[in-house]
Amino acid sequence: MTGQDWMEKDFYAALGVSKDADQAEIKKAYRKLARQFHPDQNQGDPKAEARFKEIGEAYAVLSDTEQKQQYDAIRSMAGGGARFAGGPGGGPAGFEDIFGSMFGGGAPTGRAGGPGGPRVQYQQSGGFEDILGQMFGGGAGRRPAGFGGPQQQRGADIEHKATLSFRAAVQGTTVEMTVDGRDLTARIPAGVHDGQRIRLRGKGRPGVNGGPAGDLMIRIQLEPHPVFSMDGDDLRMTLPVTFAEATLGTTVEVPTLSGETVRLKVPAGTPSGRVLRLKGRGVATTKKTGDLLVTVQVVVPQKLSRAAKKALEEFAAAADGDDDVRAGLAARAAQ
């Protein structure tokens, strides 16, 4: 868009909002209209396509705080009678009126020249857009968006949250979503983690004046699993075993996420907290397959039968004099 476009187009009217609308109102109006006039919903309708483009142009400017300030200032100039035309015979509503409306004074300091009215001369090498760039904080050589010919602008990125079951995250899945009135299907690769963001390039908001579209960022949120958790490409689980199994050793059936069970040997004398590894039973990605890490948890019985209690007392008596499990603890604590 050119500077003249900004003067002539009413972006607030395009979105159906007042000039005092905040960003939430502007965004809500844009989403509603984008859904209504989206080309996918109005195939073969050139009027709807033109309306959709108009909505996109309006939102691209009004959703950007800096551009919105520039647009409001320029529209204010236009409302006060300022125009780009000027020079001899141009009348009092010429180029210099812009500065008068901005600063509350008359024409900038210059010199009168020729018949037909005042002529202003500036000692700057830049043009009108360079002057406006300075007024809006751009500095010399920097032109605000909309001046000096059509300016391409990249569309805004959009973030969308996708909630997945633990199994779907491990195995990979597809999710369907509606973003700004568009129905999209996204492929989620195997092994995504909670809080991870997946970028879909070009699926964000459309660009302006032929600029590239923004990206869609999908933020993954995982539902917890009652047994398994993820650790990189590995899966983790806790395996309860009895005191006797941990002491004497045993072989147990361990469930996997695929639904199969595998046999795992628990060596004699395995303490609580030891991690045993099942190769190739973790997350299968395109690069590798992780393992299943099994943490042994020795379960202490809360109630004992009379016979079990007697047997345990006999065991304690027989083991009396064996290694002191707390040997050296006090000395280490005193260091």
Tens-digit pLDDT profile for residues 158-198: 898 999 999 999 999 999 988 888 888 999 999 999 999 99
Residue 8, pLDDT above cutoff 90: no
Average pLDDT over residues 113-121: 38
* Same fold yes or no, 3-76 and 228-298: no
What pLDDT digit, counting tens, does each position of 119-150 carry?
Answer: 433 333 344 444 444 444 444 334 444 444 56
Q: Cβ atoms within 10 A of the Cβ of 193, count? A: 12
> What pLDDT shows up at residue 327?
83
Q: How far apart are CA 239 and CA 256, in angstroms?
A: 12
Considering the entire predicted model, what is its pTM?
Answer: 0.52
Portion of the chain with pLDDT greater than 90, in percent: 36
Q: How far apart are CA 133 and CA 129, in angstroms?
A: 6
Question: Residue 175: beta bridge partners?
Answer: 186
Domain boundaries, the chain: 3-76, 158-222, 228-298
Tell me yes or no: is domain 3-76 CATH 1.10.260.40: no
> What pLDDT shows up at residue 307?
92
Give the residue from 53, 65, 42, 64 showing the smallest Cα distance to 9: 53
Confidence of residue 83 (pLDDT cuts 50, 70, 90): very low
Side-chain half-sphere CA neighbours of 205 within 13 A: 24
* 256 three-state secondary structure: coil
How far from 85 is each of 89, 107, 176, CA to CA, in Å? 10, 15, 52
- Range ranked top by mean pLDDT from 28-42, 50-64, 85-99, 278-292: 278-292
CATH fold of the domain at 158-222? HSP40/DNAj peptide-binding domain (2.60.260)
Mean pLDDT across the chain: 79
Of 37-51, 124-138, 295-309, the range with the lowest mean pLDDT is 124-138
Assign domain 228-298 to a CATH class: mainly beta
